[in-house]
Amino acid sequence: MQLFHRYKIEFRLETNTFAISNLFQNPTIIHHAQVIQQAINTIHTLDNSPWSPLHLVLARASFAQERIYLDEQIRFSFNKTMINNMYVIPLLYQISSMNDHVSITRLHHAFASVITKHNILRTTLYVDTNGTITQHFLDTNIIPGDHMKLYGLTVVNIHNDDRHYMYEIIEKILNQADLFDLSKGHVINCHILRREQSNQSFTQNNNDLLNKDDLILFTIHHAMFDGASTSIFIRDLSLAYQSNGPLPVEDNSLQYIDYSVHEHIIDMSLSQEFWLLELKGYNLTHQLSLPADRQRSSTDQQRSGLASSAQITFDSETCASFLNYASSHHLTLFQLGLSVFYVFLFKLTHGQTDLCISSINANRYRSELVNMIGMFVSTLPFRVELDPHWSFDEVVEYVQEKCLSILEHSHYPLQHILGDNRLNQSNVSFLEIIYDFISVSKDVEHLCLNDVNLEQVSLEQLVKMSKFDFSLTFEHTPLSDNKKLSCNFVYSHDLFEKSTISQIVQRFQYMFEQLFETKSSNTPMISMNSSINKLALILPDEAEEMELVVFQRLENIVNDGMIVCTLIYCFIKVVVS
């Protein structure tokens, strides 16, 4: 996927002339060069004019913004939800060296400079008098003078070195009722978490400096920001801090509001036909038979938003086996992980073959969108109809073709898919289970402020929020010295107990190890040519317990039989005598 997007940027290619399926059908570099040349030649015969800036300050919200705005209002209203900010994206960084220092004043200027450059970070979102969800970005020349308050930069002094105390403070920040105000364009904040200096009183000079173990927390509303925006934000913040001046802004640069307008006038009739055919015959309100502890009421579709997580970190051999399989079969890691998840759901639901879940797509389908901060991500249904007799190799091939066909139509909005099927977002079963695969970028793991290196801090230990009932996310760190593969299950407290998920996670790991066995593993490996029916979810200790129960029952049957025979013998003896 990264190579596909790199080619599109470097050679200015568009989806209608250059598709990712071309790369999988032609896996060598020489073939890639030929495919790219053909796409370039095709461009000259097609109308591929770039999107132009429209110099607007007000327009209809994008499809992605509309989806998030409505979902937050409908599924996560405050009368049941215990969490205020379901759509917050937190980014936490920590100074790691004793000799490094960061100026708060300079950081604030850099932060303001990034907001000035990217209009989307000072954009309001509201419903106008016609009932249309509208975005309106604020002109920097007429913004009120209290920049510190507007940009949400706050300093919190931490008087306790205990890490749990720090996480409690972060949780409180993330759950602040006034963290965001979309109607006023308050969509991003910078929070300084400074540890108390034990051995000195601050002077005017060093009071401005952050030191080792101090933290910087950014909170951004998801309606204005997505995962791919992170590296752009970090890059521009670093540049602004280093220059200690405003970032260059091109007057004719395309802004997110321009994208929203262009998006609404795209002809999507072919994609509409694709999605109607893709979901034909599927009962979109039918729930998969997951082993939940509670069922959601058909009349009450609101969520508490509370969730927990369980993680598996695979050893290096298992990781290598997984990566080698993907490489040898010309698969993306996303496709292979999704195939594993489908097979697991097939086994977990006792053989359901018509499976539909959700996954997300970056949806930056044009070169103009690659370096833009904003919310582009599309949430889409991924439906498969498995054959129980297929081998895992056959499942993988089928899932790969499915992913490639969906990718060509990933820009079609979820609300259109639901509307075409006369459904709404609150009662669709595929939106309850979601899958994703994340390759962690080095650009996101580190924030560099004028040669001061800040490392990203995981927020896994915080109380989880979940917009879905059940999710699986693989995470791969390809650029680190110790390449790591892990997967994270997040589950809603509305439906699942911790003990149930613990068992589900154990079953998943056991099945995963059957597929990607290593020399040091004691798990019996299944042939990739064998039927997926042969994969086992019954854990070894459960199998032993079942064998023991069966043996005891047989023993009881034998004993009972001997007693019966003795009684019959005695009865016959009495009768004869």
> Could you tell me where the DSSP H helices lie in 285-364?
316-328, 333-348
Q: Is 433 exposed, middle or buried (0-12, 13-18, 19+ CB in 10 A)?
A: buried
73 burial (CB, 10 Å; 0-12 / 13-18 / 19+) is exposed
Closest CA to 371 of 223, 258, 229, 249: 229
The phi, psi pair for 181, rounded to 5°, reads: -145, 95
- What's the pLDDT score for residue 564? 58
Give the C-alpha separation, 20 to 404, whole Å.
7
Residue with tokens 């020399």: 519
Stated pTM of the model: 0.83
Taking CA atoms, 164 is separated from 97, 168, 169, 194, 338, in Å, by: 21, 6, 9, 15, 35
Give pLDDT, residue 8: 55
SS3 390: coil
Separation between Cα atoms, residue 100 and residue 93, nearest integer Å: 14
The conformational region for residue 236 under phi > 0 = left, psi -120 to 50 = alpha, else beta, is: alpha
Measured N-to-C along each axis, helices 498-515 and 333-348 cross at an angle, to the nearest 10 degrees, of 120
Digit-by-digit pLDDT tens for the chain (577 residues) are 556 656 655 555 655 555 666 666 666 776 666 566 565 554 433 346 789 999 999 999 999 999 999 988 877 665 555 678 889 999 999 998 888 899 999 999 999 999 999 999 999 999 999 999 999 999 877 555 554 455 668 999 888 878 888 889 999 999 999 999 999 999 999 999 998 764 444 445 578 999 999 999 999 999 999 999 999 999 999 999 999 999 998 888 899 999 999 999 999 999 999 999 999 999 988 889 999 999 876 655 667 788 899 999 999 999 999 999 999 999 999 999 999 999 999 999 999 999 999 999 999 999 899 999 999 999 999 999 999 999 999 999 999 999 999 999 999 999 999 999 998 777 788 999 999 999 887 777 789 999 899 999 988 767 677 888 999 999 998 866 667 899 999 999 989 999 999 999 999 999 999 999 776 666 667 778 889 999 999 998 887 787 777 655 555 555 666 665 665 555 555 544 4
Residues 6+ apart with CB under 8 A from 331: 325, 396, 400
Q: Is 492 in a helix, a strand, or coil?
A: strand
147-197 pLDDT tens trace: 445 566 899 988 887 888 888 999 999 999 999 999 999 999 999 999 876
Report the pLDDT value the prediction gives residue 199, as an integer from 0 to 100: 43
Largest Cα–Cα distance in the chain?
A: 118
Q: Where are the domains of the chain?
A: 1-49, 538-577
For 235, the 3-state DSSP assignment is helix
DSSP code for 120:
G
Q: Output the pLDDT for position 299.
A: 58
* CA pair distance 356, 542, nearest whole angstrom: 30
Question: Hey, what's the torsion of the CAs at 563, 565, 566, 567, to 10 degrees?
Answer: 90
User: Could you give phi then psi for residue 398, rounded to 5 degrees?
Assistant: -65, -45
Q: Can you give the pLDDT at residue 205? A: 55
Backbone angle region of 89, left / alpha / beta, with phi > 0 → left and psi within -120 to 50 → alpha: beta
